[in-house]
A and B are shown apart, each in its own frame.
Chain A
Amino acid sequence: DADVTQTPRNRITKTGKRIMLECSQTKGHDRMYWYRQDPGLGLRLIYYSFDVKDINKGEISDGYSVSRQAQAKFSLSLESAIPNQTALYFCATSDLDSDYGYTFGSGTRLTVV
């Protein structure tokens, strides 16, 4: 099994729908992150969490919310999806002892029509 698992891998949804992207990890890392990737813009931080009780907004949090249900689970919600939220979304984890920076999930490709 992957260290960081994202579900679903692909999703097409309609404008105005609520959608949740899920992330779970087996690394035992405290810190978890949600990024979105758009062509030519790299990855931009949406939300991050340093532990279950700590949630922080990133660079582009408007239109998104998150829930840290447990150390291993960090979900991203789009309350009312809009087409410009069409992107590739990545979950990542990190920890003080991590030599590799982030451990990324495989990504969720979301299309809002």
Chain B
Amino acid sequence: AQKVTQAQTEISVVEKEDVTLDCVYETRDTTYYLFWYKQPPSGELVFLIRRNSFDEQNEISGRYSWNFQKSTSSFNFTITASQVVDSAVYFCALSEFAYGQNFVFGPGTRLSVLP
């Protein structure tokens, strides 16, 4: 069975600090896709990234970066120089399909960035 664990329930940092959100997954599939979504206080879910299991290159997008390590089944998300607008709940998700059929979501990590 597929499972996603986000062990950090809540994290608080002060603005401009770097913060890493952990995601550990379990799957028996050899091909799978990992996603991160952001849920700001307004409640909508915002897509951040999709990564397939064959691509272990780290990805950087502005202040965001992702570290995918198949050896430890982890797909961690780092925000550099955090800002108040980064305050949100972040979800890691796993799917055996690129188009996201039947996602398995982690429980989410609530990030609070204090001014």
Contacts and interface: CB of A to CB of B under 8 A. Distances in A.
B100 A98 contact: yes
Nearest to A58: B102
Using C-beta atoms within 8 Å of the partner chain, give the interface range for chain A: 20 to 34
Interface residues of B, number: 23
B55 interface: no
A109 B44 CA distance: 11
Instruction: List the 10 closest A-B pairs by CB distance, nearest first.
Output: A101-B100, A42-B105, A104-B45, A43-B105, A100-B47, A42-B107, A94-B100, A94-B99, A102-B100, A98-B99
Given A40-B107, A99-B50, A101-B93, A90 B45 contact: yes
Interface of A: 31, 40-45, 48, 58, 88, 90, 92, 94-102, 104, 106-107, 109
A106 B45 CA distance: 7
A101 B33 contact: yes
Interface of B: 4, 9, 33, 35, 37, 43-45, 47, 50, 91, 93, 95, 98-103, 105-108
